[in-house]
Amino acid sequence: MAYYMTSETLIASIKRRANIPDSQAMISDEEILDFAKEEMLLNLVPLVVSKHEDYYLTAEDTTIQTNVFKYPIPYRALGSSLRELAFLDSSGAYLPLYRKSIDDITEDSRRGTTSNNCRFYIMNENIVLDTNSPAGHETLTFFFNMRPNALVMSDRISVITGIDRTSGIITVSSVPEVFEAGVKLDFIKLNSPHRILGYDIIPTLIDTANSQITFNTTEIPDELTIGDHIGLQSETNLVNAPSELHVMLAQMVAARVLESIGDLQNLQAANDKLTKMETST
């Protein structure tokens, strides 16, 4: 099995790299995870996207409503930006939409018309269609890079021990206290690259006594297997990046910790090592 880090092993690695004993009171484990969340978004994610631009790519479908032209960009889109936008027909074929500036739209609006040269523009956090969807295209598909989940401690996560795809019952190691009725959950792949397999899924039943969570069978991802994780919406205890980059995140956070406690001598050495890691990636 490839080496990977959970929140706990990440914290342990960071402390070793920064020479911080467990008994110290300068910085808490929660603060270290806060640094990790920031370093993920500020440095690790841009690095992954630059090397593997489709790593975080996902798609989300929205049903087109009659006479509704404004649709929100999925809230989990990284930087609230889109890679592509397309109409989807019943056969599974895509018809791309093309983004236009507001100047083009105001000079030559096509609102209320149907065209194969489909257009849209962005206003605030919404896309606005400037073309009616062609006949048979009742779905709008957003393609975007998904924001990685925030790191939390493993006591907020369930590990899957059994999957019954007929009943929708998933048996887990334990049900965390934070899993309550009506909560939205995410499925996280255990193996590298620790992808988010499904998100914002509401279980139909949470049985704490029997360590079982029931979902609609259609919402259980095909790729989900025993050993994968379930966490609250936007949470994970697995770094959402290829396993090989987990040590780099640990080094990034170690440098942040050293900076925060004013250890400038060891900070320089930590930054030098981080530079070598980034160069070899």
> What would the pLDDT profile of 242-255 be if each residue is shown by its tens digit?
999 999 999 999 99
The span from the CA of 237 to the CA of 205, in Å, is 23
pLDDT at 103: 78
pLDDT at 172: 98
pLDDT at 150: 96
Averaged pLDDT, 11-36: 88
Peptide bond into 193 cis (omega under 30): yes
The span from the CA of 146 to the CA of 56, in Å, is 5
- pLDDT value at 112 more than 80: no
Report which secondary-structure segment, H or E, holds 258.
helix 246-260
| Chain segment 48-76, per-residue pLDDT in tens | 888 877 889 999 999 999 888 899 999 99
DSSP string spanning 34-76? Answer: HHHHHHIIIIIHHHHHHHSTTTTEEEEEEEPPTT--EEEPPTT
High-pLDDT (> 90) share of the chain, %: 74
- pLDDT value at 21 more than 60: yes
| Chain segment 124-166, per-residue pLDDT in tens | 899 999 887 777 789 999 999 999 999 999 999 999 999 999 9
pLDDT at 280: 81
- pLDDT value at 1 more than 50: no
pLDDT at 276: 92
- pLDDT value at 114 more than 70: no
Length of the chain: 281
Q: Which of the residue ranges 28-42, 65-79, 122-136, 196-210 would you say has the lowest mean pLDDT? A: 122-136
pLDDT at 278: 86
Strand ranges across the sheet with 196-201: 196-201, 185-188, 229-232, 157-164, 169-172, 212-214, 205-207
Nearest Cα to 79, choosing from 150, 142, 149, 147?
A: 147
Q: Are 121 and 111 in contact (CB under 8 A)?
A: no
Q: What is the pTM of this model?
A: 0.89
Q: Which of the residue ranges 20-24, 35-39, 113-117, 267-271 would you say has the lowest mean pLDDT? A: 113-117
Q: Which residue has the higher pLDDT, 92 or 224?
A: 224
Cβ of 116: how many Cβ atoms within 10 Å?
Answer: 9
| Chain segment 124-135, per-residue pLDDT in tens | 899 999 887 777
Averaged pLDDT, 176-196: 95
pLDDT at 132: 79
- Where residue 7 falls among pLDDT bands split at 50, 70, 90? very high
Averaged pLDDT, 74-90: 94
Averaged pLDDT, 14-37: 88
